[in-house]
Amino acid sequence: MHRVVYFSNASLELTFPAIEAIVEKAAERNRPLQISGALHYNGLNFLQILEGPQQALMPLYLQIRKDPRHSGVVKLVHERILTRSYPDWGMRLFCGAPKCVGAPTGMSPGDTDLPAMINAFFGLGHTMAFAELR
């Protein structure tokens, strides 16, 4: 099992409904591939955490890098993990943008300090919401 975390700049043309549709489609596509994760959005940037088998995860990450709906993709983490942080999610959206508030609950513990990473990039109080999920 592997985890990939990346940061990118959202296209300025992206609307919030379009981002919700991206997440919904990703959830459907990821489940059969045994990929789970979360997409954090602050109105300007994305921080995405993807977890799953390396043979499925890496082709997906390479496809994501080419997606024109964002730019400046920077891989922050690629690591082996023992336990998923998002075991039951194909993909879930967390948002600090004005039109999106709150976070769902009910996650298992992960094995890295992702809350600090999220807070460092977004500084929007995601650490507390993310900690509740863990």
Q: CATH number of the domain at 85, please.
A: 3.30.70.100
The model's pLDDT over 36-76, given as tens digits with 9 standing for 90+, comes to 999 998 888 999 999 999 999 999 999 999 999 999 999 99
What local confidence, expressed as pLDDT, does residue 61 receive? 95
Residue 5, pLDDT score? 93
Tell me how many domains the chain contains.
Answer: 1
Q: Pairing relation of β-strands 92-95 and 36-41?
A: parallel
Largest Cα–Cα distance of the chain, in whole Å? 38
> In the chain, pLDDT over 90 holds for what percent of residues?
50
What is residue 67's predicted lDDT score, i.e. its pLDDT?
95
Specify whether the backbone of 37 is left (phi greater than 0), alpha (psi in -120 to 50) or beta.
Answer: left
Count of beta carbons in the 10 Å neighbourhood of residue 15: 9
Structural domain including 122 reads: 2-133
Residues 110-116 have a mean pLDDT of: 53
Would you give the DSSP letter of residue 108?
-
**What is the distance between the alpha carbons of residues 21 and 11, in angstroms, rounded to a whole number?**
15
pTM of the model: 0.73
